[in-house]
């Protein structure tokens, strides 16, 4: 029988509340709802726990995979292939810009002078220079890149997440691979992409349901202070006050016996009880404690939102999270500004605000995973929703260009020092081995040991492939 507890009004001052909730300052029903889930796009705690239990009955499409975990670094806005990974030094000035190519640790492979640390690590990653799709609109293009399929409904600037959508790979991995050591399987940090207010599609479990939504980490990345979002305790209730959590659960059992017949009673099942353990997990708290990292490490990653979020991603993977998705924060009228959506002053903004933090965070992540012996079992994907136009516009910017752009893959069985595909002389179209978002996502599943040919059922019970593309075979070592 599931345990129950009665809804309790914290404004009441009676002995029943004091005796039943001595450790929690009378945790209210509203507080428990807050602990239990955060709604659309955020992980429902009981769902997180129940997902791990339900997984064994799903006919898991699991096979051997080199990677145990993955980190997706999403450069929100659309990074320029022509100024980062696929420079055209012999093209006319209105195309090539001012960034010059520099040698990498791989003979014959050149990348931008704006990414010097990344250049020294080229033996540890592959560059895809021939990605292409047909969508130049931010929300739906990002969905296509994250999910591997075009969105099946109307787009536009105000399009947001919907349960009819396909699931993010983190949600699929959560469903079929589950968690490690009690950690949540899928984490999103530091926030969902929402430059104009609405959270854009592609960043949660879609039709798989809230049980597989990402666990959100919230806080202040600049000052390295994070907390556990949906798992956070009610205000004024610290972990130390809940050290005797088993005692609180026992109190809830007592409440069940005393008030089980109350019409306002709500259930506290075993999944919620396990979720309560996760709130106070020392493993979770340790993973989030960036103060454990040296000042030099913080400096290496960069004291930026992206740098500190990437550092947190490394700690979460080390603690057992399966997939961490890190977004480059961008708000048109707030933190991050235009991000990689450089329609104006492109070259100066790349030089001052975009390339240095990207180089520091990505370079430090690859170095640390390699030094700790984790790179072989951790796939890292660096990408955006599309590239930028070959020609500059009248404001010195580059506009949206989905017809040919680049992405980077490292670790998790991916070859180092390799370039897949090629573009034409101005970086406008793929001339060799074009690859689609579906192929990229199929490659991610392949590395993680998830059969990309397996089926999922949507809300209408229609069968859909986990991924519609094929793994890019020559990327795999």
Is 90 domain-assigned? yes
| Confidence at residue 228, expressed as pLDDT on a 0 to 100 scale | 57
Which token pair is 312? 């947190």
Cβ distance 355 to 100 under 8 Å? no
Q: Residue 365: what pLDDT? A: 98
382: in domain: yes
Question: Is 26 a member of any domain?
Answer: no
Query: In terms of C-beta density within 10 A (0-12 exposed, 13-18 middle, 19 or more buried), how is residue 239 classed?
Result: middle
Residue-wise pLDDT tens for the chain (477 aa)? 333 322 223 333 333 232 222 333 334 444 433 333 333 454 444 444 454 444 433 455 766 678 999 999 999 999 999 999 999 999 998 999 999 999 999 999 999 999 999 999 999 999 999 999 999 999 999 999 999 999 989 888 889 999 999 999 999 999 998 878 888 999 999 999 998 889 999 999 999 999 899 998 877 777 777 765 555 555 555 555 555 555 555 555 555 555 554 444 434 444 454 556 566 678 888 898 899 999 999 999 999 999 999 999 999 999 999 999 999 999 877 777 889 999 999 999 999 999 999 999 999 999 999 999 999 999 999 999 999 999 999 999 999 999 999 999 999 999 999 999 999 999 999 999 999 999 999 999 999 999 999 999 999 999 999 999 999 999 998
Token code pair at residue 226: 């994070």
The two structure tokens encoding residue 379: 């796939």
Q: Are 36 and 28 in contact (CB under 8 A)?
A: no
- Residue from 72, 16, 188 nearest 443 by CA: 72
d(CA 362, CA 357): 8
Other Cβ atoms less than 10 A from the Cβ of 433: the count is 15
Residue 279 Cα distances to 174, 272, 275, angstroms: 19, 11, 6
Longest dimension (CA), the chain: 81
Contact 411, 376 (CB under 8 A): yes
- Could you identify the residue written with the tokens 């999922």? 456
- What would the two tokens of residue 216 be? 């959100």
Domain ranges, residue 188: 60-234+290-475
Other CB atoms within 10 A of residue 430 CB: 20
pLDDT for res 466: 95
Q: Return the pLDDT at 58.
A: 46
In-domain check, residue 268: no
Residue 168 is assigned to a structural domain of this protein: yes
- Give the chain's domain count: 1
State how far the Cα of 95 lies from the Cα of 97, in Å rounded to an integer: 6
Which positions ≥6 away from 77 have C-beta within 8 Å? 138, 328, 330, 338, 339, 340, 341, 342, 384, 385
Nearest to 357 by CA among 212, 161, 222, 192: 222
Please say whether the beta carbons of 428 and 82 come within 8 A.
no
Q: What is the pLDDT of residue 233?
A: 53
pLDDT at residue 305, as a whole number? 93
Whether 244 maps to a domain, the answer reads: no
CB burial of residue 79 (10 Å; 0-12, 13-18, 19+)? buried
Q: Tell me which DSSP letter residue 168 carries.
A: P
Assess if residue 91 is contained within a domain: yes
Check residue 109 and give its pLDDT.
98
CATH of the domain at 227: 3.40.720.10
Buried b (16+ CB within 10 A) or exposed e, 348-376: ebbeebbbbbbbbbbbbbbbbbbeeebbb
Using omega within 30 degrees of 0 as the cis cutoff, is the peptide bond preceding 417 cis? no
3 state DSSP class of 15: helix
Residue 77: inside a domain: yes
CA Rg value for the chain: 23
């Amino acid at each position: 029988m599931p345990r129950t507890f009665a809804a309790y009004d914290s404004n009441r001052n009676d002995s029943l509340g004091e005796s039943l909730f001595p450790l929690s300052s009378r945790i209210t029903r509203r507080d428990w709802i807050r602990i239990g889930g955060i709604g659309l796009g955020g992980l429902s705690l009981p769902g997180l726990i129940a997902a791990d239990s339900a997984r064994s009955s799903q006919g898991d499409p699991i096979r051997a995979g080199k990677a145990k975990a993955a980190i997706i670094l999403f450069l929100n806005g659309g990074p320029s292939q022509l100024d980062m990974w696929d420079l055209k030094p012999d093209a006319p000035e209105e195309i090539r810009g001012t960034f010059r190519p520099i040698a990498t640790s791989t003979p014959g492979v050149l990348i931008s002078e704006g990414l010097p640390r990344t250049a020294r690590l080229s033996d540890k990653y592959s560059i895809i220079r021939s990605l292409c799709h047909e969508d130049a609109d931010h929300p739906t293009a990002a969905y296509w890149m994250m999910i591997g399929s075009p969105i099946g409904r109307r787009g536009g600037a105000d399009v947001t997440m919907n349960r009819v959508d396909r699931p993010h790979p983190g949600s699929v991995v959560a469903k079929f691979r589950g968690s490690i050591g009690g950690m949540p399987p899928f984490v999103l940090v530091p926030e969902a992409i929402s430059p104009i207010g609405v959270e854009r599609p592609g960043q949660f479990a879609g039709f798989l349901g809230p049980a597989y939504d990402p666990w959100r980490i919230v806080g202040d990345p600049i000052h390295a202070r994070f907390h556990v979002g949906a798992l956070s305790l009610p205000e004024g209730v610290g972990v130390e006050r809940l050290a005797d959590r088993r005692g609180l659960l026992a109190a809830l059992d007592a409440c069940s016996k005393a008030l089980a017949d109350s019409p306002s009673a709500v259930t506290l099942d075993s999944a919620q009880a396990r979720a309560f353990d996760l709130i106070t997990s020392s493993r979770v708290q340790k993973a989030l404690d960036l103060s454990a990292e040296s000042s030099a490490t913080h400096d290496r990653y960069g004291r930026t939102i992206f740098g500190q979020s990437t550092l947190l991603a490394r700690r979460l993977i080390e603690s057992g999270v399966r997939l961490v998705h890190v977004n480059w924060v961008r708000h048109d009228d707030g933190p991050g500004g235009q991000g990689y959506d450089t329609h104006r002053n492109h070259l100066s903004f790349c030089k001052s605000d975009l390339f240095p933090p990207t180089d520091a965070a990505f370079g430090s992540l690859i170095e640390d995973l390699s030094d700790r012996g984790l790179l072989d079992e951790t796939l890292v994907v660096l990408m955006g929703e599309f590239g930028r136009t070959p020609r500059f516009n009248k404001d010195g910017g580059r506009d949206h260009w989905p017809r040919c752009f680049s992405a980077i893959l490292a670790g998790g069985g991916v070859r180092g020092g390799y370039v897949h595909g090629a573009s034409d002389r101005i970086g406008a179209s793929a001339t060799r081995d074009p690859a689609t978002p579906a192929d990229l996502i199929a490659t991610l599943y392949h590395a993680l040991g998830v059969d990309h040919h397996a089926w999922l059922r949507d809300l209408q019970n229609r069968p859909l492939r986990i991924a519609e593309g094929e793994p890019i075979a020559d990327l795999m070592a």
